[in-house]
């Protein structure tokens, strides 16, 4: 039995004829950045859907030399901050006509050579690298015309090994100083003198930068250096490290955590195992302001990175670079600020 003949594939010309518009109008209707009346765009897209038409991205890429694909390199896709940011970034990029491809690093933040080969084949318009271990010179070998974007954490002092300038890359810099300074000033104002720092992963530039900034702020405010609490951004490690600190040492007046999830582990260890009150006995401050931070069980005071501002800045960097491929290295900055909730307050007050 012969297979039934498939209907011919719909073309842009067919859509234009049925919609009674020009071929150019059809192209503009499928370009989110193009100027076209909303009702006209809706009519064209409706006709296209009826006919089963979709633009041929591969063919368009050959003409425009743009794939409308953005690669995102991440060390983790399950943690709350990364999942929130990937969700918001994907939505913002789709609104600009881009699709997102996700590439995950190994546990040591390096990237599999096979993934690099995939990147070359996709002819990406841009790559956002959330891990400093994948070096610019490595990406330069596979990206062709695309310029990678790195997330930076400037402190005013040298912190670890930042992506070098041998190959061009653009930067989104998170300015943590203001938020951390506000947090320490508040804790000090409520009587905290001994402050612990719950770190993130040892190899994380973000964690090291936050520690360095914290040390600077404490020194400027005539406070002792932080008591180091080894963490890795996870709840369980933070929980166990907090028990060790208070059962084997003298404890601290306050804990500044490298992220909110770690702060949750600290709070639960203090409350449920050590029977200490937050904030009356020990104050706790996190970093990021993930959605869970405002949940009533935690009500966490935290240093906020505004996710909307950060995502818009990343999209601007991509669009600016595509508009001017030969421009010098581009940079955007995102501030931080303290969001005050219920985990910082007067020491020794009644619960």
| pLDDT for the residue numbered 179 | 97
Q: Is the pLDDT of residue 3 over 90?
A: no
Determine contact, residues 70/101, Cβ cutoff 8 Å.
Answer: yes
Q: Is it the case that residue 337 has pLDDT exceeding 70?
A: yes
Q: Which of 133, 125, 132, 70 is nearest to 102 (CA)?
A: 70
CATH of the domain at 92: 3.40.50.2300
Report if residue 1 sits inside a domain.
Answer: no
**pTM score, whole prediction:** 0.78
Collapsing DSSP to helix, strand or coil, 327 comes out as coil
Name which of 30-39, 144-153, 184-193, 323-332 the model is least confident about.
30-39
**Do 120 and 207 have their domain in common?**
no
Between 142 and 152, whose confidence is greater? 152
CA distance 55 to 26: 9
253 pLDDT band, cuts 50/70/90, is: very high
- Do 301 and 313 lie in one domain? The reply is no
Task: Say what the pLDDT of residue 349 is.
Answer: 52
Confidence (pLDDT) at 68: 85
From its phi and psi, is residue 20 left (phi > 0), alpha (psi between -120 and 50) or beta? left
Highest average pLDDT, of 30-39, 52-61, 83-92, 136-145, comes from 83-92
Residues in the chain, overall count: 351
- The confidence score (pLDDT) of residue 347 equals 76
pLDDT at 63 over 60: no
**Could you tell me if 132 and 200 lie in one domain?**
no
Is 275 within the bounds of a domain? yes
- Position 23 pLDDT exceeds 90: no
**pLDDT band at residue 158, thresholds of 50, 70 and 90?**
very low
Terminal alpha carbon distance of the chain? 81
Domain shared by 159 and 214, yes or no:
no
184 with 284, same domain: the answer is yes
Please say if the pLDDT value at position 252 is more than 50: yes
CA dist 43 and 39 (Å) reads 6
**pLDDT, average across residues 63-72:** 74
Cα-to-chain-centroid distance, residue 149:
12
| Average pLDDT of the residues in 253-271 | 98
The pLDDT of residue 105 is 80
User: Radius of gyration (Cα) for the chain, nearest Å?
Assistant: 25
Rounded mean pLDDT, 32-55: 83
Answer for the pair 228, 251: CB distance below 8 angstroms, yes or no.
no
The tally of CA atoms less than 13 A away on the side-chain side of residue 280 is 8
Rounded Cα distance between 109 and 344, Å, is 34
My answer on whether 187 and 268 are in the same domain is: yes
Does residue 340 fall inside a structural domain?
A: no
> Of 166, 154, 152, 161, which Cα lies nearest the Cα of 317?
152
- Please give the backbone phi and psi of residue 286, each rounded to the nearest 5 degrees, phi first: -105, -165
Instruction: Tell me what pLDDT residue 33 has.
Output: 65
- Give percent of the chain above pLDDT 70: 89
CA distance 19 to 25: 10
Range picked from 52-61, 64-73, 210-219, 324-333 for highest mean pLDDT: 210-219
d(CA 257, CA 264): 9
CA dist list (Å): 296 to 73, 156, 200: 33, 36, 24
d(CA 205, CA 133): 9
Q: How many structural domains is the chain composed of?
A: 3
Q: Which 3 state secondary structure label does DSSP give 150?
A: strand
pLDDT tens digits, one per residue of 278-294? 999 999 999 999 999 99
Reported as a single tens digit per residue, the pLDDT across 263-274 is 999 999 999 999
Q: How far apart are CA 19 and CA 42, in angstroms?
A: 11
Structural domain including 211 reads 177-305
114 and 44 within one domain: no
pLDDT of 197 above 70 = yes
Token digits for 9? Answer: 């594939």
Residue 16 scores a pLDDT above 80? yes
Kind and range of the H or E run holding 209: helix 205-220
Neighbours of 106 (CB within 10 A): 12
Average pLDDT of the segment spanning 104-111: 75
Residue 312 and residue 282 share a domain: no
Q: Is residue 342 part of a domain?
A: no
If you average pLDDT over every residue of the chain, what do you get? 86
Indicate whether 85 and 168 sit together in one domain. yes
- Round to whole Å and give the CA distance between 279 and 162: 36
- 164-190: pLDDT as tens digits: 545 588 999 999 999 999 999 999 999
Q: What separation in angstroms does the CA of 3 have from each of 6, 8, 47?
A: 9, 15, 28
């Amino acid at each position: 039995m012969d297979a039934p003949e498939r209907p011919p594939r719909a073309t842009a010309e067919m859509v234009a004829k049925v919609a009674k518009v020009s071929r150019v109008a059809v192209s503009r209707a499928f370009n989110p950045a193009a100027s076209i009346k909303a009702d006209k765009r809706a009519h064209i897209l409706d006709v296209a859907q009826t006919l089963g038409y979709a633009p041929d991205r591969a063919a368009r890429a050959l003409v425009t030399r743009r794939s409308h694909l953005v690669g995102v390199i991440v060390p983790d896709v399950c943690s709350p901050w990364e999942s929130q940011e990937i969700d918001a970034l994907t939505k913002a990029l789709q609104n600009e006509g881009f699709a997102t491809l996700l590439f995950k690093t190994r546990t040591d933040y390096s990237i599999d050579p096979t993934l690099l080969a995939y990147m070359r084949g996709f002819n990406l318009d841009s790559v956002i690298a959330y891990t400093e271990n994948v070096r610019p010179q490595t990406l330069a070998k596979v990206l062709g015309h695309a310029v990678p974007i790195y997330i930076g954490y400037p402190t005013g002092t040298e912190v670890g090994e930042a992506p070098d300038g041998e190959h061009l890359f653009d930067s989104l810099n998170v300015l943590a100083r203001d938020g951390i300074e506000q947090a320490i000033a508040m804790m000090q104002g409520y009587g905290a003198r001994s402050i612990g720092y719950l770190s993130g992963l040892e190899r994380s530039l973000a964690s090291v930068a936050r520690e360095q900034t914290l040390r600077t702020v404490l020194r400027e405010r005539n406070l002792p250096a932080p008591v180091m609490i080894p963490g890795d951004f996870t709840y369980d490690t933070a929980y166990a490290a907090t028990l060790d600190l208070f059962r084997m040492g003298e404890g601290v007046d306050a804990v500044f955590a490298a992220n909110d999830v770690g702060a949750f582990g600290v709070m639960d260890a203090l409350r449920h195992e050590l029977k200490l009150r937050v904030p009356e006995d020990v104050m706790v401050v996190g970093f990021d302001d993930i959605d869970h931070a405002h949940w009533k069980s935690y009500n966490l005071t935290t240093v906020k990175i505004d996710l909307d501002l950060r995502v818009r800045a990343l999209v601007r960097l991509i669009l600016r670079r595509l508009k001017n491929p030969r421009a010098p290295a581009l940079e955007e900055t995102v501030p931080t600020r303290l969001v005050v909730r219920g985990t910082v307050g007067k020491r020794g007050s009644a619960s």
